[in-house]
Amino acid sequence: MIAVLALIAGVVAGVLLEPTVPLALQPYLPIAVVAALDAVFGGIRAKLDGVFDDKQFVVSFVSNVLVAGFIVFLGDQLGVGGQLSTGVVVVLGVRIFGNVAAIRRRLFRA
């Protein structure tokens, strides 16, 4: 419950405070969002499975975002930024789908 409230508070703060992202970081924003979504859905699934762990969640969130951003940054430097971000999105997308499917099975037994 408190987690949902924190998420909503974050969205509200983002809308109201209108923080500006430095121009250099803007290309990594979409990738960071996908990485964060992966961590969130992983956390929700772990919660439903009864194995949720705060440390694991925080570390997976931070490292997901940082690693995804770093891979894309590295790709940009090597001139294959587009392909590498596609790879990151595919891998994280598969994980998100897998976790959402597990959540769905838990909730709806289907």
Sites of contact with another protein (CB under 8 A): 2-3, 6-15, 18-19, 21, 26, 29-30, 32-33, 36, 39-40, 42, 45-46, 49-62, 65, 91, 94-99, 101-102, 105
- If the CB atoms of residues 42 and 75 are measured against another protein, the closer one turns out to be 42
CB of 56 to another protein, least distance (A): 5
Rg (CA), the chain: 16
- Show Cβ contacts of residue 105 under 8 Å, excluding neighbours closer than 6 positions: none
- If the CB atoms of residues 3 and 89 are measured against another protein, the closer one turns out to be 3
CB of 55 to another protein, least distance (A): 7
- Show Cβ contacts of residue 40 under 8 Å, excluding neighbours closer than 6 positions: 7, 61
Please spell the DSSP secondary structure of 17-48, one letter per residue. Answer: H-PPPPGGGGGGHHHHHHHHHHHHHHHHHHHH
> Which amino acid is it at 15?
V
- If the CB atoms of residues 9 and 78 are measured against another protein, the closer one turns out to be 9
CB of 78 to another protein, least distance (A): 21
For residue 79, give the 3-state DSSP assignment: coil
CB of 104 to another protein, least distance (A): 11
